[in-house]
Amino acid sequence: MTSPSIDSRAVVAWMEVLDRIEHQLGESLVADGEPSTPPGPATNPDALLQQSDARLADLQASLERAEGNAATIDALLKEEAEHLRSYLDSVGKVARKLADWASRAV
């Protein structure tokens, strides 16, 4: 069995990752709250086209921010997955040593 300090460090590390993800998502939601050009009654086709273009530009900018945030989160998750793999490899080595030791003790 692993020591409590190793388990608690892993839990703390995951909590930090989740906090960073939550923070990034919160920033993204705040940034994308309301469109800069609210829909309103337009009197002519040119004004409608301009409103549509402005909204499309806002949506594109939001999409680009979301893609950037997703890439950041993906990188954090990949890093944490590698830490977890390393941790599990270490646990496996310790388990094999313990099993070897236990089989010699009999």
Question: What pLDDT band is residue 97 in, cutting at 50, 70 and 90?
Answer: very high
Closest CA relative to residue 87, chosen from 5, 3, 10: 10
Instruction: Single out the residue of 104, 105, 101 nearest to residue 93, CA to CA.
Output: 101
φ, ψ for residue 35, nearest 5 deg: -65, 145
pLDDT at 7 over 60: yes
pTM for this entry:
0.48
pLDDT in tens, 17-70: 888 888 887 787 777 665 555 555 557 888 888 888 999 999 999 999 999 999
pLDDT recorded at residue 8: 76
Quick check: 11 pLDDT over 90? no
pLDDT for the residue 79: 92
